[in-house]
Amino acid sequence: MEATLALEDGRVFRGKGFGARTERGGEVVFNTSLTGYQEIFTDPSYAGQLVCLTYPHIGNVGTNAFDNEAGRPYIEALIVRNFSELASNWRSQQTAEDFLARHHTPVISHIDTRALVRHLRTHGAQRAVLSTLSADGPALVTRARALPPMVGLDLARTVTCAHPYEWTEPSVEVATARPALLAGRGFSPDAQPVKGEGALAPEEARVYPRFRVVAYDFGIKQNILRRLVDVGCRVTVVPVLTSAEDVLAMKPDGVFLSNGPGDPEPCTYAVEAVRRLAGRVPVFGICLGHQIIGLALGGKTYKLKFGHHGANHPVKNLLTGKVEITAQNHGFAVDPDSLQLSEVELTHMNLNDSTLEGLRHRSLPLFSVQYHPEASPGPHDSHYLFGHFVEMMEEFKK
């Protein structure tokens, strides 16, 4: 099966097709992670985007039910150098090709991904169409130019949950830990290790939470929810249009604002909700949630040239002087010059391009980071932020 990738500026790449026989369009971006391709496939923050993975060999460990970050892939299409049709891993339940084909996601392989990445770094993220049905480059370029630009797109509404739901599953590390290690962390003292790797059984990883947290689902990843449970939170996930009044009626100890796709500026409903919640309950935001907090505090956002996508971005904690290697996936950023520094303290900075990566309010219980502290995939340098959220909720209770 042949595949063709056409960019809006006229650049065309031809390669070998895998996955679904279909045609998909959106913004093409690149991700520099070395591992975790299944988590990338299923991250709702990639809605509306075709993802090029810079690591050259993808698909060799297959896929499994537990590594999904959502119920299905959210990438529009996958772009790789080499795509493995075979899977060799003891956890594999399905090949990557079968997984993507089942969810109608096309793949282009055997192209020069280095040339594509350099093109995107030079000219910026672009609209594109990937087709495993047509090889007509000029026609595909025309269709790419007809796609809506990412600026102005409210995609959070398209990926959010339809109804509120409860999440009680912890991470594998906590669920399989010896009971002695769980003392003082809100977990049952008679919790037993989970056998094997599948879905976690509630009776084997029972949690007694200390805090009730309402999490806004702008495109939330399952490992974020697991990390909240790890620190003793009972989590209720709510749709993006849930009002601040409805959230406060749940009497939460804290509110979490998740990651998500698209432009933050059209999410005026979320900005207004944060303004109503600020000061009345502790708030922690990441990624799109960070951008929404920035807007709620009177700031502005802007689109990055080609975004931050990968698990190796260095960020300096301006409060401690330490450097964290972080997982990131965003195409917009908060303009630090638009914030009132008498009210807002800048806490984290990206060492690659000096963009704002974190902030906190000087008097209200509210803070956020631009990156993904659950880091799935990625390093665990930023897990401490979930602990900060717990400390903030504990202090607010006093």
Residues forming the active site: 287, 372, 374
Place of tokens 């849930």: 242
Q: Which tokens sit at 210?
A: 């200390």
DSSP 244-278: HHHHHHT--SEEEE---SS-STT-HHHHHHHHHHT
Instruction: Give the separation between CA 7 and CA 277, rounded to whole angstroms.
Output: 42
**222, 172 contact by CB (below 8 A):** no
Type of residue found at 349: M
Instruction: Give the separation between CA 307 and CA 313, rounded to whole angstroms.
Output: 12
Task: Outline where DSSP puts E strands in the chain.
Answer: 2-7, 12-19, 23-31, 49-53, 57-58, 77-79, 82-83, 106-109, 126-131, 165-167, 211-216, 233-238, 254-257, 283-286, 300-317, 323-335, 344-350, 356-361, 366-369
| Backbone torsion region of residue 321, taken as left when φ is above 0, otherwise alpha when ψ lies between -120 and 50, otherwise beta | left
Backbone angles phi, psi at 164, to 5 degrees: -60, 150
Q: What is the CA radius of gyration of the chain?
A: 21
- Residues in CB range of 391: below 8 A, 6 or more apart: none
